[in-house]
């Protein structure tokens, strides 16, 4: 029998591979998260703050990649809950300057000397004081959750590649610090799983002590290997720049950063709303000029640099729109964004500020699927 005469199944046309979508620029995630955090600082309404937390959580659940650093979001949520509980505990134990008429409980009060005027331990705990502490702590907790969203969504190593040359050395230190905690958590989980498979205890003080030494040893070995690899690749080497350029760079960068801090403080306070925005623009311009000049000290090339495409711009625009609309709402309708506690009233959900916060969900629909290979 001639094998060549056997009919072979005809092969259909090869399916063209789906083009890979480039990952989103890490700076877009940070700008989106910081914009949501800015919106959180403009209100104490617990309904709006809870909506901001829900928006960030949904985007993280949809767009978070399966990487070690993406697990940090849960740690930030736990930290936010701890901050909220500590704020309430301080209001109960140390009292509050907010007057109130609805007494919930009366604790034994500890007498303090005359030099400790304005501070008390114990005494009456009112509903107004607890509500004010709850609103204040929830605002800080929301800000922490927004920062945790940026840590879970943005790739630290890719963010390092996007930094200007003037901030590259500092960025290396920051990225190493940011990746230390996720790697440490992964090592602890791996060692605890190995001890459970061997029938050894992995909980309690004894288990913690026996797991801690291998974890620290692995962290030290990883640090030494990273330092050797960075030194072999030329990290830390700088080019020669004239002294006048160095002084101009330092003056522009330092003055610009001070201007950014002063402008941001003005935007976050009601008294500095008039001068905050112009000072912020001048500070940003000076800082960018300083970073541009400072980049001459660190000449380097980038392999496959991240691009600011339409998707990244849409993500940033959604966050900036939320922040801008909440700032506008704080000016137009301050009573809705800051519910009163004296007298104690139930907070209401303002319609158009809530709709503005929902604009922050846009990254969940325009960002690439984290399961797709990049």
Position 31 pLDDT exceeds 70: yes
Buried/exposed 42-67: b ≥16 CB within 10 Å, e otherwise:
bbbbbbbbebbbebbeebbeebbbee
- In the prediction, which pLDDT does 358 show? 93
What is the percent of the chain with per-residue pLDDT over 70, rounded to a whole number?
Answer: 71
Cα separation values, 277 from 106, 261, 264, Å: 46, 11, 8
Mean pLDDT in the chain? 77
Distance CA 273, CA 73 (A): 33
What's the whole-number mean pLDDT along residues 167-174?
Answer: 64
- In the prediction, which pLDDT does 13 show? 47
Task: Read off the pTM.
Answer: 0.70
Mutual angle of helices 351-358 and 310-332, in 10-degree steps: 160
The region of weakest confidence among 101-110, 191-200, 232-241 is 232-241
What are the residue boundaries of the structural domains of the chain, listed by start? 21-238+308-366, 242-297
- In the prediction, which pLDDT does 10 show? 47
Which is more confident, 195 or 364? 364
- In the prediction, which pLDDT does 116 show? 65
- In the prediction, which pLDDT does 318 show? 93
What's the whole-number mean pLDDT along residues 315-326?
Answer: 92
Position 39 pLDDT exceeds 70: yes
Distance CA 48, CA 373 (A): 36
What's the whole-number mean pLDDT along residues 288-300?
Answer: 69
The region of weakest confidence among 215-224, 349-358, 359-368 is 215-224
Give Cα 200 distance to the centre of its chain: 37
Range ranked top by mean pLDDT from 4-18, 265-279, 327-341: 327-341
Position 49 pLDDT exceeds 90: yes
DSSP-derived secondary structure letter, 221? H
Distance CA 311, CA 317 (A): 10
Position 359 pLDDT exceeds 80: yes
Q: Which residues contact 177 (CB under 8 A, 6 or more apart)?
A: none
What's the whole-number mean pLDDT along residues 230-252?
Answer: 71
Q: How confident is the model at residue 8 (pLDDT cuts 50, 70, 90)?
A: very low
The region of weakest confidence among 94-108, 128-142, 219-233, 356-370 is 219-233
Mutual angle of helices 72-93 and 168-197, in 10-degree steps: 90
- In the prediction, which pLDDT does 139 show? 92
Cis peptide bond N-terminal to 236, omega within 30: no
Which is more confident, 183 or 339? 339
- In the prediction, which pLDDT does 6 show? 45
Position 5 pLDDT exceeds 50: no
Position 126 pLDDT exceeds 80: yes
Phi, psi of 107 (to 5 degrees): -90, 155
What is the percent of the chain with per-residue pLDDT over 90, rounded to a whole number?
Answer: 17
Q: Which helix (H) or strand (E) holds 90?
A: helix 72-93
- In the prediction, which pLDDT does 172 show? 66
- In the prediction, which pLDDT does 271 show? 61
Q: How confident is the model at residue 208 (pLDDT cuts 50, 70, 90)?
A: low
Position 83 pLDDT exceeds 80: yes
């Amino acid at each position: 029998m001639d094998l060549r005469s056997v009919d072979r199944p005809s092969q259909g046309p090869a399916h063209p591979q789906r083009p890979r979508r480039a990952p989103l620029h890490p700076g877009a995630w940070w700008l989106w998260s910081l914009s949501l955090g800015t919106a959180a600082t403009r209100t104490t309404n617990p309904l709006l703050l809870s909506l901001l937390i829900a928006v960030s959580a949904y985007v993280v659940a949809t767009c978070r990649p399966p990487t070690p650093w993406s697990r940090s979001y849960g740690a930030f949520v736990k930290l936010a809950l701890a901050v909220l509980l500590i704020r309430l505990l301080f209001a109960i134990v140390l009292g509050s300057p907010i007057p109130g008429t609805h007494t919930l409980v009366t604790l034994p009060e500890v007498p303090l000397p005359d030099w400790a005027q304005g501070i008390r331990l114990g005494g009456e705990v009112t509903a107004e004081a607890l509500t004010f502490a709850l609103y204040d702590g929830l605002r800080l907790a929301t800000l922490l959750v927004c920062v945790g969203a940026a840590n879970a969504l943005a790739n630290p190593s890719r963010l390092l590649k996007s930094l200007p040359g003037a901030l590259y050395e500092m960025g290396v230190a920051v990225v190493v610090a940011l990746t230390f905690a996720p790697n440490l958590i992964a090592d602890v989980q791996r060692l605890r799983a190995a001890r459970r498979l061997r029938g050894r205890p992995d909980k309690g003080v004894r288990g913690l002590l026996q797991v801690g030494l291998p974890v620290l040893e692995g962290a030290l070995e990883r640090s030494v290997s990273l330092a050797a690899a960075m030194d072999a690749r030329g990290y830390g080497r700088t080019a020669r720049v004239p002294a006048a350029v160095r002084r101009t760079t330092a003056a522009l960068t330092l003055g610009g950063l001070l201007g950014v801090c002063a402008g941001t403080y003005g935007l976050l306070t009601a008294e500095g709303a008039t001068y905050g925005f112009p000072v912020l623009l001048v500070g940003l311009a000076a800082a960018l000029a300083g970073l541009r000049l400072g980049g001459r000290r660190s000449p380097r090339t980038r392999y496959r640099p991240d691009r600011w495409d339409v998707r990244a711009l849409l993500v940033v625009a959604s966050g900036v729109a939320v922040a801008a609309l909440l700032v506008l709402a704080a000016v137009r309708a301050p009573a809705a964004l800051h519910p009163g506690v004296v007298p104690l009233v139930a907070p209401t959900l303002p319609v158009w500020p809530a709709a503005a916060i929902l604009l922050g969900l846009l990254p969940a629909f325009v960002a690439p699927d984290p399961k797709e290979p990049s």
